[in-house]
A and B are shown apart, each in its own frame.
Chain A
Amino acid sequence: MSTELAVETVGMVKSFGATKAVDGLDLSVPAGAVYGVLGPNGAGKTTTLRILATLLAPDAGSARVFGHDVVREANRVRERVSLTGQFASVDNDLTGMENLLLLARLHGYRSTAARERARDLLEAFDLVEAADRPARGYSGGMRRRLDVAAGLVVRPQLMFLDEPTTGLDPRSRNEVWDIIRATVERGTTVLLTTQYLEEADQLAQRVAVIDHGKLVAEGTPGELKSSVGHGSLRVELTDPDDLPEASRILVGALGVPAETTGPARLTARGTDPRSVARALGELTRTIEVDDFAMDRPSLDEVFLALTGRPPTSEVPAARKPARKSGRKSATNEESR
């Protein structure tokens, strides 16, 4: 991996009144990949991005983008980055074409070249049919594509995306993911924030988990998962009456507690495949099993283990409202 750093922050602090939004954050983002900043609402993700995009100055510590200080060399930084905020940062009154034309002109394209560039982008982002309609009438997915296109009018070295798929339906979300992957393939570093563990898992080569403005964990999604321990075994019994006996066998074979997580379901966390194979062998000698599955720990579980609470209390619109807030952590395998 190249050693060049796209972003480096050291002890970065930013307060708003009495609230420390960012509290001594150290980040090192390698160039050339997708880096995910993962955290619940209010963790300081957006503030971090705004500092890195030169919109806010840190109260203490330093932040550099490709080696340039975000305060003292703000213009150097601005030449290298683009920011697509959490809330649509396109003009609702302008058409898709006009929005891109505006940005192209601001970047210095002459009128014909600007129009060509805007048209190419509209084509690439599948917005040709909507090109001459005001962005106000766009669907969530179209607006987000226009938003991302607006951040790519000139290809930045580093693209900031603040919760790029929040509120999108699964299809639109996949489209945005494809765009992000293509952008990285072309050499742009992408720093994205997300509340969705799945998103970080899918896209990011490295992930920083932040909470209350502090770095809680950092690494590849795989490293984060293994830092939490092994996977979990889920067993569906044919007959609920077998639950106590099955539980006894599993605990005996695995050496970890087994929790009842459904009418006839047991979940044992912190197991490895070898003991699972043995335990299942013992179990099925006397008890009828409908189904079983071995889950790697999800990033949800990573988050819970690191911060002591689930990643988000909100259920994103794009997902099925399956997560019930009152249930215990052991049900988190549903989210994968």
Chain B
Amino acid sequence: MTTAARPIEVEERLLRVLGEDTRPQQRPGALSTSLTMGWRALVKIKRSPGQLFNATITPVMFTLIFTYLFGGAISGSSREYLQFLLPGILVQGVLFISTQTGVALTSDLQQGIFDRFKSMPVWRPSPLTGALIGDVVRYLISSAVVVAVGLALGFRPDGGPLGVIGGMLLAVLFGFCVSWIWTFLGLVLRTPQAVSALGMLLLSLLTFASNIFAEPTTMPGWLKAFVDINPIGYVVTASRSLMNGDGAADLAPALVSCAVLLIVFVPLSLLRYNKSE
């Protein structure tokens, strides 16, 4: 090897930085690497505030349109309707931005940054779990905005601050669970366009065919049958009860829905993620 061409002029600082073997002795655990990836997700939110704004503006517009356009017709008065609508809009808002989980994941996959992560000796699912930390922050921001707009428009929940916070946390929890669907779909579909197209279609259908905008009592039988088993409805009902002071009685079906989502989609996602071998 002595005949190998030596660089005529190797930067000293280059050799210095390459010479130090500074590899830390202890490798970080799963929690630490997930938090590091979560930090990455938060930086990305900060870098593109427009995306968060776009995502938050939708539920705000829905609130305004439904409250003032249809509210009186549905509930007798706009103000009355708002009390009914707002917890549902909260859930819808979180759901709409949950597709972003899959979109961000696919663009990561396309960039090849996951190849680097996966070839490092870190807990493999860290990029997925870290992304979810960022998602939860986005859900918290979205629900806070919706509640703030609601309060400004005359939303006066009987559940008080605790009930409102409970409703918000339930929506965020549900969003977290739904994110795993998008994680799985992102890993399967692999393009941001496919994920967001499918996401918009599915979510529009599922949130309109639910009890978010109106009680299902006046709906035709076939639709009511669907609305009654739509898990989004369980979560909306529970969130509504919490916020409107009817307590946690409706919580059980909502939490079961969340658990089912996790039980199905967490293993599916992890299998798919590790499978690329």
Contacts and interface: CB of A to CB of B under 8 A. Distances in A.
Interface residues of A, number: 59
Interface string B12-30: 0111111111111111100
A120 B39 contact: no
A33 B16 CA distance: 19
A181 B277 contact: no
A55 B19 contact: no
B47 A93 contact: yes
B218 interface: no
Interface in A108-126: 108-110, 113, 117, 120-121, 123-125
A85 B23 contact: no
Contact of A154 (B11, B22, B115): B22
Given A78-B119, A81-B119, A89-B111, A106 B28 contact: yes
A85 B112 contact: yes
Main secondary structure of the interface of A (DSSP, over half): loop
Interface in B17-53: 17-28, 32-33, 36-37, 39-40, 43-44, 47-48
Contacts of B22: 109, 113, 117, 154
A316 interface: no
B47 A134 contact: yes
A155 B48 contact: no
A84 B116 contact: yes
B201 interface: no
Contact of B4 (A33, A98, A123, A134): A33
Q: Which size bracket describes the interface of B in this complex?
A: 35 or more
Contacts of B24: 107-110, 113, 154
Contacts of A90: 113
A336 interface: no
Contact of A182 (B15, B20, B25, B28): B15
Contacts of B161: none
Nearest to A87: B112
A94 B120 contact: no
Interface string A22-37: 0000000000110000
B33 A93 contact: no
B54 to A, nearest CB: 16
Nearest to A136: B47
B276 A178 contact: no
A106 B18 contact: no
B14 A54 contact: no
Given A56-B276, A83-B119, A106-B36, A124 B16 contact: yes
A186 B119 contact: no
B1 A54 contact: no
A107 B117 CA distance: 11
Nearest to B8: A178
A242 to B, nearest CB: 40
Nearest to B104: A93
Nearest to B13: A124
Given A55-B276, A56-B277, A94-B43, A185 B116 contact: no
A87 B111 contact: yes
Interface in B116-144: 116-122, 126
A91 interface: yes
A303 to B, nearest CB: 21
A178 B11 contact: yes
A121 B17 contact: yes
A186 B18 contact: yes
Nearest to A202: B5
B112 to A, nearest CB: 4
B120 A106 contact: yes
B113 A155 contact: no
B7 interface: yes
B116 A89 contact: yes
A106 B23 contact: no
Contacts of B20: 155
Interface of A: 1, 32-33, 50, 53-57, 71, 75, 78-79, 81-94, 98, 102-103, 105-110, 113, 117, 120-121, 123-125, 134, 150-152, 154-155, 178-179, 181-183, 185-186, 188, 202, 205
Closest 6 CB pairs of A and B: A108-B24, A124-B17, A154-B23, A78-B121, A57-B277, A53-B119
26 contacts: A1-B1, A75-B121, A84-B116, A88-B111, A89-B112, A91-B44, A92-B111, A93-B47, A94-B44, A94-B47, A102-B39, A103-B120, A105-B32, A105-B36, A105-B39, A106-B28, A108-B23, A108-B26, A117-B22, A120-B16, A124-B16, A125-B14, A178-B9, A178-B10, A182-B15, A186-B19
Given A87-B111, A181-B6, 19 more contacts: A53-B115, A53-B119, A71-B277, A75-B121, A88-B112, A89-B115, A91-B113, A102-B40, A103-B116, A106-B36, A106-B37, A107-B28, A120-B16, A120-B17, A123-B13, A124-B11, A178-B9, A178-B11, A185-B18
